[in-house]
Amino acid sequence: MSKLVPPHGGKGLTTCLLEGDELAAEKKKAEGLRKITISPRVKGDLIMLGIGGFSPLTGFMNKADWKGVCDNFLLAGGTFWPVPVCLDVSKEDAYAISEGDEIALYDSKYDEILATMKVTEKYEMTQKDKEYECEKVFMGEGTPTAQEFWKIAKDDHPGVQMVMNQGEFNLAGPVKVLSESHYPKTYAGIYHRPAESRKVFEERGWSEVAALQLRNPMHRSHEYLCKIAVEVCDGVYIHSLVGNLKPGDIPAEVRVKCIDALVKNYFVEQFVVQGGYPLDMRYAGPREGLLHAVFRQNYGCSKMIIGRDHAGVGDFYGMFEAQTIFDKIPYAKEACPTPGQALECQPLKIDWTFYCYKCDGMASLKTCPHGKEDRVLLSGTMLRKLLSEGGELPDHFGRDEVIEILRQYYEGVTDKVEIKLHGAATGDDKK
């Protein structure tokens, strides 16, 4: 009997990835179906549906699920879910498809059919519907009114841009996944299915596992967060996004090298596991923090490390809004009465962390009494900006081994992207 937290939804790991004879037969059938080209974001969602990362989902959401998630964080059946998982298509494709049809979901970049899907519902997403989704999912305390939000969101929020650029219709229905694309090969040893990470944790005898979400290279603050988690749990799962990021972010293979260097030199390796997952960032701040907790529960983690500005972008969210949202959502058993429907992965809330010269070590706002002038404020955005511009990093910003890997990467970058700083990167709103 596993001691790990059960998968979300109360149905075990719901995997849609086919194997063996069933896979071969479905691939053959897929060649004769209408092909629908999918976006990179949908591709990541599809693979997560395949490997059980999005348990208990087995396909793309219908209108009732979409609205329930936007309004109440709940699927129509009462299971907690924080972010829509939808398949968008153009008006032309939608008019050519009827409910009951089977279609093939096609990745044009790799010239591969990734899945088949039976269409159970087709619903229009008007401009108003898209705006509604954006306000519900992406609007945070940093822009408390819709007027303030839209003044900057269309130009500065990549998640909003993604939704507003979607096709005019959504298709709902169960999927049969035929491939995990290039991820198992490109990230061999790092890319995990939930069943694989669970097996590793069980072999180590772990029951309480904390996950660290990572989209930036690990700096001293990330290291400190992990070490706090190791002290209070059986181990930590450093779980990196290996899907698409926004321009200017550092590629997954570089981040993996940085994590390897840190774990090898600064951790007791038996208490750390490194993994990767295939989603694109949505930059949905608090809502994405909840999504991270949902699928980390499926990967076997009972705790989700939530620090400052988790999954944020710009100044759209309050610094600790991704922590407080866990106290406001209907994930409790009263709202989700059926066993397994409530979110069981809980937040490990940690304050703003930094290196303090007077404390002579890593500290947080809860443990350090000194002023801003004595602190090295750490952020992935600041790290990327300084390195991309050839600037010098302050002492104690990062480990030498990691900084050297990043400098080598930036020396080979020819197309530089301007990196904007914001409150989370500069600490301007902190004492």
Point out the residues that are catalytic.
215-216
- For 62-84, give one letter per residue: b (16+ CB within 10 A) or e: bbebbbbbbeebbbeeebbbbbb
Look-up: residue for tokens 């298709």?
171
Beta-bridge partner residues of 276: 191, 240
For 323-347, give the DSSP string. HHGGGTSS-STTTS-STT-S--PEE
Backbone angles phi, psi at 11, to 5 degrees: -120, 15
Residues 6 or more apart whose Cβ sits within 8 Å of residue 188: none
Query: Are residues 53 and 298 in contact, defined by beta-carbon separation less than 8 angstroms?
Result: yes
Q: Enter the DSSP assignment of 259.
A: H
Helix (H, G, I), strand (E, B) or coil at 260: helix
Supply the DSSP string of 11-65, one letter for each residue.
Answer: S-----B--HHHHHHHHHHHTTSEEEE--HHHHHHHHHHHHTTTTT--EE--HHH
